[in-house]
Amino acid sequence: MLRPLAIKTKPKEAEMHYGRLTTFINGSEVLHVKTTTETIKSPASTHTPICKKKFSYITEPTEQKFNSTDKEMKCMALKENTTMSLVNFVVSSAPNFRARQIIRETSGSISFVNGLSIKHVFVVGKSTEENTNKKIIKESEEHGDVLFYDYPDTYLYLVYKTLALLQWANENLSTQIIISKTDDDVAVDFFELSKNFKDILDEVSAHKNEREKNVFEQFPMICGLQYRVRDVPIRGKKHKNYVSLEEYAPSTYPTFCNGPMYVIPMAIAKDLYKLTCVHEMLRTEDVWFTGIVRDRIGKGDSNIVKRTYPFAQHYQTSQTNLEHREQNMRRVHILMVEKLGYSQIHWC
Q: Are 157 and 64 in contact (CB under 8 A)?
A: no
Mean pLDDT of 40-48: 30
For the chain, what is the radius of gyration of the CA atoms?
Answer: 19
> What is the predicted pLDDT for the residue at 37?
28
- Rounded Cα distance between 155 and 93, Å, is 9
DSSP 138-178: HHHHHHS-EEEEEEE-SGGGHHHHHHHHHHHHHHH--TT-E
Mean pLDDT of 16-29: 33
- Judge whether residue 3 has pLDDT over 50: no
Closest CA to 193 of 104, 107, 66: 107
Mean pLDDT of 245-252: 92
Least confident segment among 9-23, 167-181, 331-345: 9-23
Q: How many CB atoms lie within 10 A of CB 299?
A: 18
- Judge whether residue 178 has pLDDT over 80: yes
138-157 pLDDT, tens digit per residue, is 999 999 999 999 999 887 77
Give the pLDDT band of residue 204 (cuts 50, 70, 90): confident
Highest mean predicted confidence (pLDDT) among 40-54, 153-167, 243-257: 243-257
Percentage above 70 pLDDT, the chain: 82
> What is the predicted pLDDT for the residue at 54?
85
> What is the predicted pLDDT for the residue at 217?
82
- Judge whether residue 272 has pLDDT over 80: yes
**Measured in Å, how far apart are the chain's first and last C-alpha atoms?**
20
**Which tops the pLDDT comparison, 87 or 280?**
87
E strands, 156-307, in order: 178-183, 186-188, 221-223, 227-228, 256-257, 261-265, 304-306
210-228 pLDDT, tens digit per residue, is 445 567 888 999 999 999 9
Residues near 216 by beta carbon (within 8 Å), at least 6 away in sequence: 175, 176, 177, 178, 265, 266, 267
The per-residue pLDDT of the chain, averaged, comes to 82
> What is the predicted pLDDT for the residue at 31?
40
307-323 pLDDT, tens digit per residue, is 999 999 999 877 788 99
Q: What angle do CA 228, 231, 237 make, to 5 degrees?
A: 135
Give the pLDDT band of residue 208 (cuts 50, 70, 90): low
Q: CA 175, 271, 121, 88 torsion: positive or negative?
A: negative
Alpha-carbon distance values, 250 to 97, 106, 255, 301 (Å) = 40, 42, 13, 17
Please report the domains of the chain, with CATH numbers, ordered by start residue. 53-343 (3.90.550)
- Judge whether residue 69 has pLDDT over 90: no
- Rounded Cα distance between 133 and 307, Å, is 36
> What is the predicted pLDDT for the residue at 52?
65
Residues near 286 by beta carbon (within 8 Å), at least 6 away in sequence: 256, 257, 258, 259, 262
Percentage above 90 pLDDT, the chain: 62
Mean pLDDT of 272-278: 83
Least confident segment among 57-71, 73-87, 240-254: 57-71
- Judge whether residue 206 has pLDDT over 80: no
Mean pLDDT of 99-126: 96
Mean pLDDT of 255-283: 89
**Which tops the pLDDT comparison, 280 or 272?**
272
**Which tops the pLDDT comparison, 193 or 31?**
193
Mean pLDDT of 176-193: 96
